[in-house]
Every structure is written in structure tokens, then in C-alpha cells.
């Protein structure tokens, strides 16, 4: 048994290490460059005292022998400068010795092991602001369908390779949901742009399937019934998330369609508006729709962003009025002449797909719509007055924090509880360590997976995504809805395994571990309300999860009893 456990552990370690290998040599320069570093060699960032004049900065640079340049075009107020140095340690010490330097440290490299390799990624301040890389490592929305209801979506150069499913058009005199404006393709790019493809820019959730719906004309206008029809169609065709980078006056038709979508377990995200005044209209103002305000590159409210009741969260929408194109949200879109162009747009239209992409990542991790909404809002970086306020809602989107919160509070807790519950059972039955250790390990891994993997600074990949999940959410890798299929979120698999392998000397403890782990995840789903079960509502899903979770634990107890009786008991 010890040999089997050792082989199992070695196999898992080897798989994890293999999954973390650097991939895809893109250029000769990259091939010979050092890759295993989180800190960029030779670049130091200095936080200077805030009130220094340009002359004082220049004099300081001369004194330190450093060529100081602003970290970003927006860093002057914060006094953030960067410089290339031959020896980081020496330069850091010298800089920190100056009374004009508040702190100095090597630049934290946002790119990890050369990932992503999209050449314009360094212009996407918005992705760093929301900590998008953590979302990529947590599945990037794999198995999730996101409907983009807009001016249509066209597969421009940088959208090659992403999944674009069937859609529809609701605009008279158009036959396909192809984009004839540019707005919808830009929005779809922020959600799902092909990432690490050596081209252009990145997206928040590049593994999703985009469902393109055209409900706005080539001029960017549409009526409430076109949009409502598109929402209904998207819901009927399995959308998990709906992005509405559009808005207008109050409309009962539109708000009703949005409410019906949220009632059916779809996350609906909508733009708050660009009036710069108080008063959020439809559909952002509808109940349970996530209304999105915008922040600019300095993480302050964008001047055009509509505020008031109905704003739930803020996200990067850009501010080209005050910061030029560097302050906009950059994406690939159509150029109107049959080609494509990378353009920086601004607006709550641009903020909304950041939230939709983030929602897709969480849905892909197995959260239902309500838990996704709660997690996004509770993990947001609080801005403005404490708690909810009119300008930022509950704060600015932080996908990294949302993923971490889900991994730690759900998977981490399940890992610990599953392991402890299995240990308790083993102690109660006085099982030998050779059976206890594999049972506890299997229970913990089944309940929580190697949940910490997405938090490691490594490039995302499918193997890591699989291993970091609890067993209950594995089917979500194929299709987010499968993780809520009643026969899967039941005791069927664990009881079946217990029945078949329970009496076996070596496989029995593993089957018991699976039963405890799976049961733990089901019971957590019942208690926290994070798992919707198909066909069941009105609290029946919690009852289903609770009963099946309990059956799993009972199955594990039976196996432990058998193990004691057949093996440990006989040897005692």
C-alpha cells in the first residue's frame, strides 16, 4: 500500500511540474532569455516623494547615476519612476539611502514565464488593474457561454481561435450577427480575446464560448423589443452570462426580460451609462442585473460614468478625454473597410465586459449565478465612501480577489473539512495508518483539489485547471451546466465506487476518501447555496444536496467498517 501511495504522490507531483513547464518558444530572443523569474532583471521602480519638481527628479537621477522615467504616463502624481540598472541589489540599496526616495524595488513582472506573449499586452493597464492573470489560471471561463448582445461580433484577426457559437440577429434587414459597427467585436474582445497567441491583445476569459447577438444597428441603436428578444433567445440557448454594453431610458419590456434571465440562473451584466449624471436607466437598473460604472486608468471614477441607484460595481472603462488613447481600453475590432484595427475606446460599454468576463471565470469554477454575483461584489476593491456608494457601487472589480476568495473560502475549506472528516472516521474505527493516510488524502483532494495552484505565479494550462478543482466541479470543464446535473451532484458516483471497491484492501480506503470528499462538497453546496441543481428550485436543491451529501458520508462509514472488519480487524 505504501508503494501505491508513493507512486500516486509522485505521479501527481510529476503532473503538476509538467503542467507548469514554459511552453511555446516564440522567438530566439525569448529562447535564450532567463525565464524563471517573477522579477524583471535590471529594472528598478522608485517611489519618490510626491512633491518633487522635474528638475529635482533629474538631479536625483544624476546623483544616483540612473536614467529615471515615469513608470506610466499617469504616474507623475504618485512619483513612480523606473530605471534600468546593471545590478538590482546595489541600485536598490543606493536608491533607498536617498531621503528623496520613499521606496525602491525591482519591477514586479506582470508577464510570467513569457505569458502572455500578446505584443500589445503592456498597453492593457485595465487587465493588470483587475488582476486578470489569476482568472486565466482559474480556468479562464472554460465551459461557459457568454452572450454578447450588441452590434454583432465579427471574427477579426485576434479573435481567431476563440470559440464563437451560434447566435442570431434581431435587427431588421440583417441576416447574420456579424458586426457592422465595431462596438460589439471590441466588447467581445475584452471578454474573450485570444490570449497568448502572439498577436495583439488579451481578454479576461479567453476560454469561454461567445454567443453573438445583433440587437443594435450599424449606427449603434436598437429598440427595447429587439434587445429583449435577444435576451430571451440567449437564455433559451444556454447562455450562462449575458453582456449588455448598452442602455437607454426605463423600459419595462427590457427589465422584465433581464429579470427573467436572472431568475433562470443567468448572470446579466449591463452598462450604467455615459451621461456623467445621476440616473441609471434600463437594463442596468433592473433588479439583480449587475450595473457597471467605469473607472479611468488612475482608478478614479471616469467623468462620463453615470451614477446612482443601479450601480453595483465599477470596472475599467477608460478615459480617452483626459488621457488620450493610452487611457482607453484597447481591443481589436473591424475597421469598416473589411479589415481590422486595434482601437482604444472609452465608456461603461467597455467596463461591462470586464465584469462579464470575470463572472464567466467564476461560473466556470462551478459557482451558480447568485454566488457569482455575490462574490464579484464582495471581493471588489472598495472605492469612494465605505461600502456601497452611487459612483462605484460596492467597489472596483478585482477578479484576482474574487478567484482567491472562491478558492480559499470554498475549495480550501472543503479540503480541510473533507480531510478532517475522513481522519475522524479513521480514528473512530481505529484504522491503521496504511489505510488512514490514503483515505484522508483522497478525501481532501476530492473535496478541494489542489486549490492553491491558480494562486501560484505560473502560466495557466488545462492540467493545472483540472487538478486545482474539487471533483464536484470537474464536469464544468466541458460545460458549466453539467456541474449542476442532478445525477452528478448526487451520491451516485461515490456510492457506486464504495459498492464496487469498498471491500478491496487497497482501493477501499480510496473509495471511502472519495465518498467523504464528495459528500463534503455537496454539503458545502447545500449550506452555502453555491450549487443550483437542474429542475430543482424553491430550496429543493439544498435538500437534494444535503440528503445526497449525507448518503456519501454514510457510504464512507460503511466502507470504513468493512475495512476494519475485513483487514485491520483480522490483523488486530
Partner 1 sequence: MSQYEGTLKREFFGGEIWVLRTKAGQAYQLQGKIPAVLEDQQVKVQGSASHAAFGIAMVGPIIDVEQIEPA
Which residue in the list 71, 223, 224, 349 is annotated as catalytic? 349
Residue 183 or 396 with smaller CB distance to partner 1 = 183
What is the distance of C-alpha 572 from the center of its chain?
Answer: 51
Q: What is the dihedral of CA 121, 126, 132, 136, to 10 degrees?
A: -40
Residue 428 host element (H or E): helix 413-428
- 246: its cell numbers: 448598452
> What DSSP line would sit under 364-409, residue for residue?
HTT--HHHHHHHHHHTSB--SSSS-BTTTBT-B--HHHHHHHHIII
Q: Which of 183, 233, 323, 484 is catalytic?
A: 183
Q: Of 47 and 225, which CB lies nearer to partner 1 in the complex structure? A: 225
Give yes or no: 183 in active site: yes
Tell how strand 329-334 and strand 313-316 pair up. Answer: unpaired
* Residue placing its CB nearer to partner 1 in the complex, 216 or 365: 216
**CA 263/CA 10 separation, integer angstroms:** 46
Question: Cα separations (Å) of 34 from 40, 42, 106, 115?
Answer: 10, 12, 16, 13
Q: Does 159 bind partner 1 (CB under 8 A)?
A: no
Alpha-carbon distance of 299 to 382, in angstroms, equals 11
Count of residues making up the chain = 572
Of the residues 274, 379, 404, 406, which one makes contact with partner 1 according to CB under 8 A: 274
Q: Does 248 bind partner 1 (CB under 8 A)?
A: yes
Of 131, 134, 349, 375, the residue at the interface with partner 1 (CB under 8 A) is: 349
Q: Which of the residues 19, 71, 118, 150 is marked catalytic? A: 150
Q: Which of 44, 199, 254, 292 binds partner 1 (CB under 8 A)?
A: 254
Please report, as residue ranges, which positions from 457 to 496 form the binding site for partner 1 (by CB under 8 A).
none
Considering the rule CB under 8 A, would residue 220 count as an interface residue with partner 1? yes
> Smaller CB distance to partner 1: residue 91 or 334?
334
185 binds partner 1 (CB under 8 A): no
In this chain, which stretch among 44-52, 345-353, 396-404, 441-449 interacts with partner 1, using CB under 8 A?
Answer: 345-353
Could you say which of 131, 243, 346, 404 contacts partner 1 (CB under 8 A)? 346
Closest approach of Cβ 220 to partner 1, in Å?
4
Catalytic, 47? Answer no
Identify whether 233 is a catalytic site residue: no
Nearest CB to partner 1, comparing residues 45 and 228: 228
Neighbour count for residue 422 (Cβ, 10 Å): 32
Backbone angles phi, psi at 377, to 5 degrees: -75, -40
Q: Does 126 bind partner 1 (CB under 8 A)?
A: no
Considering the complex, what minimum distance in angstroms separates the CB of residue 522 from partner 1? 43
Judge if the upstream peptide bond of residue 283 is cis by omega within 30 degrees of 0: yes
DSSP annotation of 104 reads E
Q: How far apart are CA 270 and CA 224, in angstroms?
A: 14
State the Cα–Cα distance between residues 127 and 403, nearest whole angstrom: 15
Among 178, 216, 522, 553, binds partner 1 (CB under 8 A): 216
**Main-chain phi, psi angles of 521, to 5 degrees:** -65, -40
Q: Bridge partners of 104?
A: 46
Q: Is the dihedral of CA 536, 542, 546, 549 positive or negative?
A: positive
Report the residue number, 112 or 292, with the smaller CB distance to partner 1: 292
Q: Tell me how many residues contact partner 1 (CB under 8 A).
A: 39
Q: Identify residues 280-339 at the interface with partner 1 (CB under 8 A).
A: 281-282, 304, 306, 320
Structure-block grid coordinates of residue 542: 439544498
- The position carrying cell 536598490 is 92
Q: By CB under 8 A, tell whether 150 contacts partner 1.
A: yes
Query: 64 in the Ramachandran plot: left (φ > 0), alpha (ψ -120 to 50) or beta?
Result: alpha
Angstrom distances, CA of residue 7 to CA of 12, 21, 451 = 9, 21, 21
Among the listed residues 350, 402, 450, 521, the single contact to partner 1 using CB under 8 A:
350
Please identify, among the stretches 26-34, 136-144, 157-165, 346-354, the one whose residues bind partner 1 according to the rule CB under 8 A.
Answer: 346-354
Residue 182 binds to partner 1 (criterion: CB under 8 A): yes
Q: Note whether 151 binds partner 1 by CB under 8 A.
A: yes
DSSP three-state, residue 182: coil
Helix (H) or strand (E) holding 186: helix 183-192
- Residue number, 66 or 293, with CB nearest to partner 1: 293
- Taking CB under 8 A as the binding criterion, the range among 125-133, 344-352, 412-420, 456-464 that sits at the site for partner 1 is 344-352
Residue identified by cell 484597447 is 330
Q: Contact between 224 and partner 1 (CB under 8 A)?
A: yes
State which residue, 146 or 480, has the beta carbon closest to partner 1: 146
Closer to partner 1 by Cβ: residue 282 or 375? 282
Which residues on adjacent β-strands are paired with residue 24?
none
53 binds partner 1 (CB under 8 A): no
**Binding segment toward partner 1, per CB under 8 A, in 87-95, 97-105, 176-184, 554-562:** 176-184
d(CA 364, CA 372): 10
Q: Which of 145, 186, 214, 469 binds partner 1 (CB under 8 A)?
A: 186
Q: Which of 71, 131, 197, 348 binds partner 1 (CB under 8 A)?
A: 348
- Among candidate residues 195, 190, 192, 40, the one with its CA nearest the CA of residue 126: 190
Select 211 or 344, whichever has its Cβ closest to partner 1.
344
23 within 8 A of 117, measured Cβ to Cβ: no
Q: Which residue, 185 or 379, has its beta carbon nearer to partner 1?
A: 185
The yes or no reply on residue 208 touching partner 1 (CB under 8 A) is no
Distance of CA 475 to the CA centre of its chain: 17
Q: Is the peptide bond before 241 cis (omega within 30 degrees of 0)?
A: no
**Position among 18, 221, 499, 535 found at the interface with partner 1 (CB under 8 A):** 221
Under the binding rule (CB under 8 A), the answer on residue 247 touching partner 1 is yes
Kindly state the smallest distance separating residue 140's Cβ from partner 1, in Å. 25
CB 143 within 8 A of CB 480: yes
Residue 176 makes contact with partner 1 by CB under 8 A: no
> Closest Cα partner for 348 from 247, 242, 252?
247
Q: Where do contacts with partner 1 occur on this chain (CB under 8 A)?
A: 150-151, 181-183, 186, 216-217, 219-224, 227, 245-249, 251, 254, 271, 273-277, 281-282, 304, 306, 320, 345-350
Give catalytic residue positions.
150, 183, 349
Amino acid at each position: 500500500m505504501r508503494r501505491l501511495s508513493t507512486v500516486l504522490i509522485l505521479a501527481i507531483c510529476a503532473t503538476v511540474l509538467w503542467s507548469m513547464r514554459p511552453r511555446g518558444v516564440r522567438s530566439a530572443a525569448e529562447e535564450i532569455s532567463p525565464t524563471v523569474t517573477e522579477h524583471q532583471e535590471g529594472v528598478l521602480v522608485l517611489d519618490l516623494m510626491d512633491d518633487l519638481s522635474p528638475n529635482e527628479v533629474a538631479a536625483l537621477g544624476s546623483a544616483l547615476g540612473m536614467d529615471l522615467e515615469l513608470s506610466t504616463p499617469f504616474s507623475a502624481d504618485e512619483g513612480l519612476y523606473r530605471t534600468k540598472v546593471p545590478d538590482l541589489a546595489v541600485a536598490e540599496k543606493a536608491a533607498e539611502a536617498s531621503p528623496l526616495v520613499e521606496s525602491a524595488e525591482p519591477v514586479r513582472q506582470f508577464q510570467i514565464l513569457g505569458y502572455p506573449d500578446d505584443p500589445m499586452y503592456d498597453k492593457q493597464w485595465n487587465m493588470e488593474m483587475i488582476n486578470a492573470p489569476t482568472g486565466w489560471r482559474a480556468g479562464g471561463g472554460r465551459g461557459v457561454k457568454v452572450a454578447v448582445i450588441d452590434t454583432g461580433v465579427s471574427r477579426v484577426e485576434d479573435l481567431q481561435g476563440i470559440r464563437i457559437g451560434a447566435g442570431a440577429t434581431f435587427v431588421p434587414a440583417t441576416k447574420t450577427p456579424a458586426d457592422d459597427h465595431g462596438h460589439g467585436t471590441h466588447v467581445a474582445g475584452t471578454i474573450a480575446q485570444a490570449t497568448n497567441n502572439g498577436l495583439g491583445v488579451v481578454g479576461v476569459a479567453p476560454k469561454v464560448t461567445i454567443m453573438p447577438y445583433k440587437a443594435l444597428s450599424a449606427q449603434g441603436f436598437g429598440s427595447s423589443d429587439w434587445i429583449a428578444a435577444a435576451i430571451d433567445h440567449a437564455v433559451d440557448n444556454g447562455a450562462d452570462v449575458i453582456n449588455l454594453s448598452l442602455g437607454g431610458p426605463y423600459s419595462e419590456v427590457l427589465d422584465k426580460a433581464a429579470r427573467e434571465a436572472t431568475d433562470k440562473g443567468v448572470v446579466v451584466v449591463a452598462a450604467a451609462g455615459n451621461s456623467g449624471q445621476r440616473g441609471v436607466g434600463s437594463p442596468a437598473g433592473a433588479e439583480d442585473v449587475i450595473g457597471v460604472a467605469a473607472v479611468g486608468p488612475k482608478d478614479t471614477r471616469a467623468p462620463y460614468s453615470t451614477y446612482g441607484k443601479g450601480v453595483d460595481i465599477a470596472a475599467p472603462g477608460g478615459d480617452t478625454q483626459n488621457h488620450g488613447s493610452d487611457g482607453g481600453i484597447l481591443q481589436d475590432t473591424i475597421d469598416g473597410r473589411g479589415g481590422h484595427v486595434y482601437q482604444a475606446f472609452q465608456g461603461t460599454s467597455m467596463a461591462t465586459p470586464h465584469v462579464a468576463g470575470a463572472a464567466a471565470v467564476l461560473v466556470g469554477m462551478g459557482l451558480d449565478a447568485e454566488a457569482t454575483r455575490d462574490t464579484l461584489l464582495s471581493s471588489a476593491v472598495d472605492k469612494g465612501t465605505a461600502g456601497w456608494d452611487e459612483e462605484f457601487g460596492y467597489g472596483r472589480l478585482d477578479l484576482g480577489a474574487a478567484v482567491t476568495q472562491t478558492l480559499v473560502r470554498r475549495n480550501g475549506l472543503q479540503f480541510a473539512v473533507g480531510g478532517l472528516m475522513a481522519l475522524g472516521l479513521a480514528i473512530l474505527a481505529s484504522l491503521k495508518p496504511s489505510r488512514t493516510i490514503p483515505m484522508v488524502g483522497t478525501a481532501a483532494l476530492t473535496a478541494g483539489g489542489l486549490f492553491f495552484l491558480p494562486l501560484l505565479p505560473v502560466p495557466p494550462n488545462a492540467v493545472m485547471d483540472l487538478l486545482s478543482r474539487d471533483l464536484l466541479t470537474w464536469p464544468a470543464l466541458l460545460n458549466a451546466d453539467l456541474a449542476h446535473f442532478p445525477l452528478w451532484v448526487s451520491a451516485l458516483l461515490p456510492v457506486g465506487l464504495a459498492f464496487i471497491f469498498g471491500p478491496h484492501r487497497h482501493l477501499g480506503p480510496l473509495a471511502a476518501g472519495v465518498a467523504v470528499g464528495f459528500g463534503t462538497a455537496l454539503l458545502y453546496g447545500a449550506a452555502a447555496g453555491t450549487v443550483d441543481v437542474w429542475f430543482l428550485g424553491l430550496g429543493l436543491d439544498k435538500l437534494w444536496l444535503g440528503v445526497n451529501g449525507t448518503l456519501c458520508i454514510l457510504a464512507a462509514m460503511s466502507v470504513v467498517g468493512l475495512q476494519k472488519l475485513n483487514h485491520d480487524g483480522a490483523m488486530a
